Chains A and B, each alone.
Chain A
Amino acid sequence: MEAKKLNLTLNIWRQKNSKSVGSFAEYKVQVSPDASFLEMLDELNNTLELKGEEAVHFESDCREGICGTCGLVINGHAHGPLPKIATCQLHMRNFKDGETIWVEPFRAKAFPVIKDLMVDRSGFDKILQAGGYVSINTGGVPDGNAIPIKKEISSLAMDAAACIGCGACVASCKNASAMLFVSAKVSQYALLPQGQPERYRRVERMVKVMDDLGFGSCTNTYACEAECPKGISVTNIARMNRDFMMAKIKSKEVEV
């Protein structure tokens, strides 16, 4: 049943570790158009391992576009040329026989390369640990239906909550800004009644950690939205900016 294979030239970023200098290495591969991009890399790794060479290191897990583990810059685009998918969902039928493909890690000052195509995105978690939650303990909460929420509001919160934390927004931003990622979490809680008590304190703390970690600022190019695999909207950034301004007025913990 397998369709005719594609002959491709891959230029893949190889880098031994975070301290070494990396460079592109060229590989010729043959691949089924029904295979996914990462399955092509699996096959390449199989042939490298047979030759006793180290596999091209890249990260992936669910391969269903939801865990956010994978992330490659393919021909200059985070997660490849198609809109609204993660790297693992990209299939080889979207490439032409004979094509040359450039594969790089997500690059940003705040995402140092670990090895080959693996990067360290732990900065994202540090931001979430600075208030990206509702402060409630297990047990002792009201009945689920005691908090009615307008369907439209709930739906908007879900749109924001759909972020998979992959970091494509940072990788595609010329300033390596994390505003789309941070604003998605801020928005989810800002929209919902559960998030109100800590609304302004939260945005202040999260933005501060984001800045401290060396993520850049937003200059409204919307590259992040264009490359986001989940279509997270830049309106979240506007909402976060509004809340951040309000926080300066409302919060008792203002630091000038």
Chain B
Amino acid sequence: MAKLDSKVPEGNIAEKWTNHKFNMKLVNPANKRKYDIIVVGTGLAGASAAASLGELGYNVKAFTFHDSARRAHSISAQGGINASKNYQNDGDSTYRLFYDTVKGGDFRAREANVHRLAEVSGNIIDQCVAQGVPFARDYGGLLDNRSFGGAQVSRTFYARGQTGQQLLLGAVSALNRQVDKGSVKLYLRREMLDVVIIDGAAKGIVVRNLITGEIEKYSAHAVVLATGGYSNVFFLSTNAMNCNATAIWRAHKRGAYFANPCFTQIHPTCLPLHGESQSKLTLMSESLRNDGRVWVSKKKADMRNPADIPEDERDYYLERKYPSFGNLAPRDISSRAAKEVCDEGRGVKGGDAVYLDFKDAINRLGQKVIEERYGNLFEIYETITGENPYKSPMMIYPAPHYTMGGLWVDYNLMSNVPGLFVLGEANFSDHGANRLGASALMQGLADGYFVIPYTMGNYLAGDKPTLVKTDHPEFEKVAKEVKDLTNKLLSIKGKRTVDDLHKQLGRIMWDNVGMGRNEAGLKKTIEQIRQVKEEFWKNVTIPGSGADVNQTLERAGRLVDYFELGELMALDALDRKESCGGHFREEYQFEDGEAKRDDENYSYVAAWEFAGENKWNLHKEELKYEYVKQAIRSYK
């Protein structure tokens, strides 16, 4: 079995990437057209990768299950993108962004990757501006910044509350340009259902054409997965309805290691549940915490309306507990603090919600300024809840939002399977146990624009230009397995719906692998997941056929993978006997309730190898901190 080699280059951290870029092999321009690359996913990471690789001259085949590349879920990111430009003259630097991200990740990220991310952060902004992304500007015509959680400098660039949309439209415009030139061929409405590995290397994929139901085979010299995260394992999350783990999970089952699956981020500012029919949770950008103050009543089950609760009977608990970061404490900490006060019975009217109040900001700055900063977010809130947040405080509660875990990759963003690269949220590399706000967009674009164009060349330079044909027996075998799975699903004809079973799994995951985890709960969870999975295989109903558009079948296929992934998340959480970042084991905390990390025993990446149903082998990549001293992460 392949040894876990992170392939981090030698030398001083500030020079690793520069030296590595020089040392990597190149493919000469005339030879690039002899290589085919498959990119799955057209979000920030996938679109930027496909565009950049196309520009270099490779033949790129880009796949998305959407009807358009622009629909990828990156589009929903609201708040902004970090970059250490230091345009504000407030002491930012590459090293500070690196330091903040390593600390924010609770010392469970790979230092060298994070430093590279900080190094290229400024290039991303330049790239996006040149593409015509309309970032917010000041009256002097230069770019504006705002602050985000976990940082004491203003380094977040934004385009109103629609930064993800604008960055994705920028990346997709670059992709469209390559489609126009013929260097990228775009395959829409195709869902990747398996990866094909020949002689130990990734050589293609098998997809389902979501319109015709046909199972199609595509070959290439390398496969790039940029397929996002797996928060929808919880059923209710801020992820879009179609976000799923199938691409990375099926790759995992073909040999790619899954790293740190239990590192999930619960975002503190989402709208509370309205009832049983709820289909997803809506995020309210973290940027709101720049001006909004989070509070609950000091009394339990206080049934008064917020306006009737006097100032001295309010508990601004983030400001009280974390005076130096206040309402901008990082996400994991803010979420846990909200859970704590609600568990005490001090949530809004005794329920699961806390207030996010803009009254002071409106008094200080005027409603117009607040409108300018957050107008669209306030509108979204009013549309969904029917309440006006200019008049009464918003109600918020944490919800699953982002997954730091993902497929294991080395410094070159290649998984342990040669030729299988993983970018963006789908990999595990840069955020450790907790991601800071406005860093997901940064990572997606760093991977796609500035890392993969170099590391892909290095890999392909050692590969033969002959392309495997899709009638190769291995392609036939994998395609048959995919078809068999579809037929098996359609043949069950039971009495429970896919959504019903998914909701049941989601509740189990939220209760025991959510914000608080403990040994007994996790062990019980593994049993419960297996029971629901068994129930699914006996009793699910999927009307319609496989030879047509069938959205129920699509959802069922994704749920099959969530059962297995859910179990691995619980197993990983059970195995990691410490609290760090988004992973909070109730047994491991300080007296004041803060997370108790165990650097002596758990300073490693847990990379799981699939070893048959319900079985995994653990491989460890030790994490060494040569630059940022591992310390208790304090935001007090």
Q: Which residues of A contact B (CB under 8 A)?
A: 1-2, 17, 31-32, 34-36, 38-40, 42-43, 45-46, 48-50, 52-55, 57, 59-69, 84-85, 89, 91, 93, 114-115, 118, 120-122, 124-125, 128-139, 141-145, 147-151, 154-155, 157-158, 161-162, 164-165, 188-189, 192, 194-195
Contacts and interface: CB of A to CB of B under 8 A. Distances in A.
A190 B361 CA distance: 36
Given A63-B282, A141-B127, A194-B130, A132 B173 contact: yes
Contact of B543 (A54, A121, A130, A194): A54
Contacts of A143: 126
B68 A61 contact: no
A146 to B, nearest CB: 8
B275 A34 contact: yes
Contacts, number: 227
Interface of B: 48, 51-52, 55, 66-71, 73, 75-76, 85, 87, 122-123, 125-132, 134-143, 159-160, 162, 164-166, 169, 172-174, 176-177, 179-180, 186, 188, 211, 240-242, 274-280, 282-283, 351, 379-380, 383-384, 386, 449-450, 453, 493, 495, 497-500, 541-544, 548-552
B275 A2 contact: yes
5 contacts: A32-B275, A35-B277, A62-B241, A67-B71, A151-B138
Contacts of A151: 137-139, 141
Given A57-B549, A61-B242, A50 B275 contact: no
B131 A121 contact: no
B541 A39 contact: no
A192 B128 CA distance: 13
Contacts of B136: 154
A209 B172 CA distance: 18
A134 B141 contact: no
Chain A at the B interface: SS class:
loop
Contacts of B160: 158, 162
Contacts of B242: 61
Nearest to B176: A129
Contacts of B544: 54-55
A32 B552 CA distance: 23
A32 B543 contact: no
Contacts of A50: 495, 497, 541
Given A61-B66, A67-B71, A43 B277 contact: yes
B166 A114 contact: no
Contacts of B542: 49
B383 A161 contact: no
Nearest to B498: A49
Contacts of B73: 61-62, 67
A125 B279 contact: no
Contact of A147 (B70, B129, B548): B129
A114 B380 CA distance: 30
A68 B71 contact: yes
B312 to A, nearest CB: 29
Contact of B134 (A17, A55, A158): A158
Contact of A57 (B122, B129, B551): B551
B130 A165 contact: no
Contact of A1 (B127, B173, B277, B351): B351
B134 A192 contact: yes
Contacts of A148: 140-142
A103 B179 CA distance: 35
Contacts of A45: 499, 552
Contacts of B129: 141, 144, 147, 194
Contacts of A138: 48, 51-52, 55, 127, 174, 449-450, 453
Contact of A154 (B134, B165, B174): B134
B552 A114 contact: no
Contacts of B278: 35, 39
B536 to A, nearest CB: 14
A39 B278 CA distance: 7
A50 B241 CA distance: 21
A135 B177 CA distance: 7
B67 A93 contact: no
A150 B138 CA distance: 8
Contacts of B552: 45, 49, 54-55
Best-surrounded residue of B66, B125, B160, B240 (most CB of chain A within 10 A): B240
B68 A165 contact: yes
Given A2-B274, A35-B274, A145-B85, 10 more contacts: A17-B548, A49-B542, A63-B241, A66-B76, A68-B68, A118-B549, A125-B68, A134-B131, A138-B453, A148-B141
B357 to A, nearest CB: 21
Given A53-B543, A161-B166, A61 B71 contact: yes
A59 B166 CA distance: 22
A69 B66 contact: yes
A49 B130 contact: no
Contacts of B125: 144
Contacts of A135: 177
A148 B143 CA distance: 8
Given A49-B541, A68-B71, A143-B126, A136 B188 contact: no
Contact of B279 (A39, A89, A136): A39
Nearest to A63: B280
A133 B126 contact: no
B135 A154 contact: yes
B497 A145 contact: no
A164 B75 CA distance: 10
A60 B243 CA distance: 11
A144 B85 contact: yes
A145 B449 contact: no
B140 A64 contact: no
Contacts of A194: 129-132
Contacts of A31: 277
A68 B76 CA distance: 10
Best-surrounded residue of A61, A93, A143, A195 (most CB of chain B within 10 A): A61
A128 B166 contact: no
B165 A141 contact: no
Given A128-B176, A151-B138, A52 B383 contact: no
Nearest to A86: B383
Contacts of A48: 543
A69 B211 CA distance: 16
A82 to B, nearest CB: 8
A129 B180 contact: yes
Given A31-B277, A35-B275, A67-B240, A115 B549 contact: yes
Contacts of B495: 50
B287 to A, nearest CB: 15
A194 B165 CA distance: 19
A38 B143 CA distance: 38
A42 B68 CA distance: 23
A161 to B, nearest CB: 5
Contact of A130 (B85, B122, B180, B277): B180
Contacts of B87: 145
Contact of B241 (A60, A158, A188): A60
Contact of B143 (A35, A130, A144): A144
